[in-house]
A = this chain, B = another copy of it.
Amino acid sequence: MPEIRQSIATREWVIIATERARRPHEFCNEASELTEQRPARKADCPFCPGNEEAATMEMLRWPAEGPWSLRALLNKYPALDKEGKRVRCFDGIHRCMTGVGRHEVIVESPVHNTCLALLDSAAVTQTLVACQARGQAFARDPRIEHIVYFENHGLSAGTSVEHPHAQLLGLPLVPYDVRNRIEEAGRYFDDTGNCVYCDIWQAESAEGTRMIASNELFVAFVPYAALSPFHTWIVPRMHRPSFLSAEPDELVALGQILRDVLHRIYAGLHDPDYNFIIRSAPLQRSERDYLHWYLSIIPRVNETAGFEMGSGMFINTGLPEESALFLRSIDH
């Protein structure tokens, strides 16, 4: 019989389709070319070395002299406008705000045919350090209330440029979903005196059946109520609401475990498209006791359909325990 699981963090229910479940290897992306099979440089790629002049304004370049290994750029087609005032308007059904905010891109490597899974840990850490540095710059903009950090890897994950890059979007508001997560975490804290994310990583770590990897500072696991096959959380053991206050040694440890998990996914599932997101507290929130930042990876191995849109629920066609066992067992 299928099982319906509820996340104690978000209260979202997911149908674990035990009867319809596919074995982990059946999600393997056999058809498309691997990232590493592409050319190492493309003349028309806006992020490849040699095309720096054609790109948008550079916000960061490491190292500052000589060949660069990472750059941060303004997004050429920003979702929000860097300039302008935040103004709200209310008039009947018209409730809106000027689209001001920040939208930048982190070019993770000068090499076109690579990705975080194929880079070394130090390069992955460098991307995280750059995300944090640009996030800190966003945080000084008084119009920004919340930052979303994410990567789109592959066409079905919504990328338009192959060259490996992450993105940051600074929003002039706290999204409805984020507000709900804060409220749910607050209720859990009221009921138990604990941070729900601390309770989750400790329980997952103790139970072990959904664990993928861990190090001194992070644990990586497929959550009990995972929304899709191989959906992975990487949670810091240290309780902190915001990614912006993560310590340098934490970013080193995160670079190591993120690279490890992404390489397991790359090797085990043949370079599937994926998204990763960093969920961090809104900038103006000081709920130190019950918000906890973490990183979430969503391999795009199945489609969402009308049921998901109509209910907000997901049908996970992979067993979380099998997904975790598969990724844990990858010899890479």
Contacts and interface: CB of A to CB of B under 8 A. Distances in A.
A304 to B, nearest CB: 6
A291 to B, nearest CB: 15
A17 interface: yes
Contact of A4 (B6, B17, B98, B157): B98
Given A99-B18, A157-B306, A305-B157, A4 B313 contact: no
A266 to B, nearest CB: 17
Contact of A3 (B93, B99, B157, B169): B99
A70 interface: no
Nearest to A75: B20
Nearest to A11: B176
Interface in A172-197: 172-173, 175-178, 180
Interface string A216-239: 000000001100000000000000
Contact of A303 (B77, B156, B305): B156
B98 A3 contact: yes
A228 to B, nearest CB: 10
B93 A199 contact: yes
Please state the number of chain copies in the assembly: 2
Interface in A226-277: 275-277
Interface stretch (A43-51, A56-64, A113-121, A144-152): A144-152
A72 B296 CA distance: 39
Interface stretch (A79-87, A123-131, A134-142, A322-330): A79-87
A312 B158 contact: no
A311 interface: yes
Interface residues of A, number: 78
Contacts of A12: 175-176
Contacts of A97: 3-4, 6, 13
A99 B1 contact: yes
A66 interface: no
A277 B298 contact: no
A310 interface: yes
A89 B296 CA distance: 26
Interface string A15-38: 111111000000000000000000
Given A175-B313, A310-B148, A311-B175, A2 B203 contact: no
B310 A277 contact: yes
Contacts of A203: 92-93
Nearest to A302: B158
Given A13-B173, A180-B180, A298-B309, 11 more contacts: A1-B98, A2-B80, A4-B98, A11-B176, A17-B79, A19-B78, A92-B203, A93-B224, A149-B310, A150-B310, A157-B305
6 nearest A-B pairs in the assembled complex, by CB-CB distance:
A158-B305, A177-B312, A2-B99, A150-B306, A277-B310, A275-B306
12 contacts: A2-B99, A3-B96, A8-B93, A93-B224, A148-B310, A150-B305, A150-B306, A152-B306, A156-B303, A158-B305, A175-B312, A296-B310
